[in-house]
Structure 1
């Protein structure tokens, strides 16, 4: 047998293991509300190749490829346990087991590591929480995809309705088509059917009512059987408490804005200050995509090194509020053609840092350039640190943060030497540290942070909604604080 034959045989063996993992992962998710992760990446509803690629990706952040033959025994061990709703990371289990020298079996070690999710310690499966989308643009449709994806167990968030203004003939058919196919993010993973007579979209069995209204005051959600719902406003039309309060109609309990909030509306960046949300807070904001991209790394750097001052320059993909061709726009430069120009504009992300990270006293300035790409942006974060350090030290620290800290779902890490923006379409992290571009000189550090300003941000929105709804389940092994 040749070396190539050996390699192919090994590949087929790993494919076979991945195939056997899929039904186990699905059953744990459906029957016990357990989400199986691999270094923070969900393996639920993933294909054989996706599971293998996720294992291989671990080498970028852990230094070596994670073998599926190593993680499979931990998955098998989970099936023997009386698990409650939780998220369990096979990558962290395997890593912790390698470092353990007590001679425990995989089954014994797994039972100990996830003890907080078993027996008397497990939390009860919660009733599903109704969700309403107000607006159905770029962020609204991606949030809808995520809500539908996460509805598999039937005990989480349930997308019940979408509120839009009627756009004309076959409005619901055209909106369903936009949900079904996306030029950037690809095909919807599943099936979608439309019932025009009842204004209903069925997506993977989820019945979603399309409600036509010109103003929040026109809707009584209880008339559609919706109760105690969380409404996600994707329009950005109202940003202060007074305007957003109009959504607090019968059937709606809380309002989440997918844009920076104004006045006393809390701006939440999941992973950083979501724990500060007061139980009785009914209106909150998920801030901006750029704020979500820079605040977690800022917190990480401030915690370890201290940050004395900083500047963020965002190179941002163009958005819907720009013109395809030169035309009137209320802003100074955004009227110029988005696909043809780099457009200097402003960003409120720097000033928004204070709301999400009040312990950071350093002044942070910011500016932005819109560029002719449809998605994925990069934030260049230039920092003056509280002490001198080295590039190797900073990279090793941020790599560790991306793997083991409470920010591991927000901060990703790549060492790919040829990484470009399109490589990060579909990233579920708030930002990705580009190791190759990082620069450190004494107490000065420059971080290059990629972020999918559409999908990564939508994932952050969902995390906030899960938290306020009470369906954000604990992760095991528990990440470091």
Structure 2
């Protein structure tokens, strides 16, 4: 047999194993609220090739190949356990097992690693929590996709309604079409039908009421059977407590803003300060996409090296706030054509750091350039550190943070030598450290952080909503960094 035949046979064998994983992963998700991960990447509802590619990605960040032949025994071991709602990373399980020298069986090692999610320790499945989207633009539609994707067993977040202003004839059909097809993020994964008579969009079996209103005061959500809901405001029209309080109508318990909050509104970056949310807090903000991109790696660097000062320069994709062609705009420069120009503008991300990291005393400055790409941005974070270090040390540390720390859902890591912005469309992390571009000289470090300013940010929003709703389940093995 030739080498070529050997490679093809090996591929077919791995395809067969990945195919057998799919029903196990799906059943655990539907029946137990267990999400199976590979290095923080969910395998739920993934195809055979997607599962194999997710395993292959481990080579980039761990430096070793990860095969389904290694992870399948851990997945099978999980099926024998009395698991409660949780997220279980079989990639980390396999990696930790390699390093373990005690000679335990896969079954015994797995049972030990996920003990917090089994038997008397497990979390009981909770009733679902109603969610309402106020506004249905770029972020609103991506958040909707994520909520529908994560409906799973029906015991998590349930998208019950969307509130928009009336748009004339065929409004419902057009909005459903925008949810179904996206020029950047591709086709919706599933089926969408429209019930115009009942003003409802049905997506993968989820009935979503479309409510037309020009102001929050016009809506009584209990009239639609919605109670104790979390409302996600995607409009950015109101950003202080007084304005956002208008949403606290019958049926709404909490309000989450997808823009930086003003005044005393808490700005939350999941993974960094979400544990500081008070149980009785009804209004909070998820800050900006750029704040979410820079705060997790900034915290990681401060924890290890200390940060004395910093500057962030964001090279940001253009947004709907800009004009397609030159026209009047209330802001300086943003009236110039977005697809044709690089546009110098301001960012509030640097000042927002203080809200998310109040213990960080280092001054952080920032500026931004909008560039002619429709999605994915990069933040160049220049830091003066508290001690001297080396490039290799920083990269080893950040790689470890991306794999094993509580920030592993926020910070990703790539060693791809030819990485460009389009490679990160659809990334679920808040930011991705580009190892090849990183520069370190003594106590100065420059990090290049890619981020999908639409989808990655939407994932952070969902994580905050899961946390305040009580359906954010623990991850095993427990992070060690």
TM-score class normalised by the smaller sequence: over 0.9
| 1:480 Cα deviation from its structure 2 partner | 2.2
Greater shift after overlay, 93-102 or 386-395?
A: 93-102
Secondary structure of the corresponding residue to residue 244 of structure 1: helix
Q: Deviations over 1:5-57 (max 9, x none)?
A: 00000000000000000000000000000000000000000000000000000
Give the secondary structure class of the aligned counterpart of 1:361. coil
| Cα drift, residue 403 of structure 1 | 0.2
Match of 2:463 in 1: 463
- Cα distance, 1:59 vs. partner? 0.7
Q: CA deviation at 1:316?
A: 0.1
SS in 1 for 2:158: strand
The answer to whether 1:159 aligns with 2:147 is no
Aligned partner of residue 255 in structure 2, secondary structure: strand
1:73-121 deviation per Cα after TM superposition (whole angstroms, max 9, x unaligned): 0000001111000000001111111111111110111111111111111
Output the CA distance in 1 between the equivalents of 2:258 and 2:479: 27
CA-CA distance at 1:448 after TM superposition: 0.1
List per-residue Cα deviations over 1:322-345 (Å, max 9, x = no partner): 000000000010000000000000
Spell out, residue by residue over 1:186-241, the C-alpha distance to the aligned partner (whole angstroms, 9 max, x if none): 00000000000100000000000000000000000000000000000000000000
Mapped to 2, the partners of 1:320 and 1:140 lie a distance apart of: 13
Deviations 1:354-400 (A, max 9, x none): 00011110000000000000000000000000000000000000000
Measured in 1, the distance between the counterparts of 2:341 and 2:96 equals 49
Aligned residue for 1:197, secondary structure, equals helix
- SS in structure 1 opposite 2:211? strand
1 CA distance for matches of 2:227 and 2:251? Answer: 4
Partners of 2:453 and 2:257 lie apart in 1 by 16
- Give me the CA root mean square deviation: 0.4
What aligned pairs does 1:44-55 form with structure 2 within 5 A after superposition? 44-55=44-55
Alpha-carbon separation, structure 2, partners of 1:234 and 1:65: 41
Runs of 4+ residues deviating >3 angstroms: none
Deviations 1:222-276 (A, max 9, x none): 0000000000000000000000000000000000000000000000000000000
> Hey, what does 2:170 align to over in structure 1?
170
Map of 1:207 onto structure 2: 207
- Counterpart in the other structure of 1:310: 310
Partners of 1:296 and 1:229 lie apart in 2 by: 29
1:353 and 1:463 map into 2 onto residues whose CA distance is: 19
Structure 1 residue runs without a partner (length 5+): none
2:226 corresponds in structure 1 to: 226
Instruction: Report the Cα offset of residue 65 of structure 1.
Output: 1.6
- Name the CA distance, whole Å, in 1 between partners of 2:230 and 2:348: 26
CA distance in structure 2 between the partners assigned to 1:344 and 1:65 by the alignment: 43
Alignment partner, residue 416 of structure 2: 416
* More displaced 10-residue stretch of structure 1: 95-104 or 390-399: 95-104
Tell me, what secondary structure is at the counterpart of 2:197?
Answer: coil
- Aligned-pair distance for 1:67? 1.1
What residue ranges of structure 2 are gaps of 5+ in the alignment? none
Q: TM-score, normalised by structure 2?
A: 1.00
CA distance in 2, matches of 1:196, 1:166: 13
CA distance in 1, matches of 2:386, 2:425: 34
Q: Distance in 1 between matches of 2:480 and 2:324?
A: 46
Counterpart-to-counterpart distance in 1, 2:90 and 2:248 = 41
Deviation at 1:444, TM superposition (A): 0.3
Structure 2 counterpart SS, 1:311: strand
Tell me by how many angstroms 1:447 deviates: 0.2
Moved more, 335-344 or 105-114: 105-114
2: CA distance, partners of 1:454 / 1:211 = 24
- 1:413-453 CA distance string (max 9 Å, x none): 00000000000000000000000000000000000000000
**Cα distance between partner residues in 2 of 1:413 and 1:113:** 25
SS at match of 2:133: strand
Q: Please state whether the residue corresponding to 2:123 is helix, strand or coil.
A: coil
In 1, Cα distance between the equivalents of 2:153 and 2:199? 25
What is the match of residue 123 of structure 1?
123
| CA displacement at 1:72 relative to structure 2 | 0.2
Q: How far apart, in 2, do the equivalents of 1:335 and 1:468 lie? A: 38
The CA distance in 2 between the partners of 1:390 and 1:112, in whole Å, is: 37
User: TM-score by structure 1 length?
Assistant: 1.00
CA distance in 1, matches of 2:466, 2:175: 25
* Separation of aligned partners in 1, 2:422 and 2:326: 26
Question: Which residue of structure 1 lines up, in the alignment, with residue 87 of structure 2?
Answer: 87
Mapped partners of 2:96, 2:318: distance in 1: 43
CA distance in 2, matches of 1:453, 1:12: 37
Q: Secondary structure at the match of 2:145?
A: helix
Deviation at 1:152, TM superposition (A): 1.3
> Partners of 1:358 and 1:299 in 2: how far apart?
11
SS in structure 2 at match of 1:278: coil
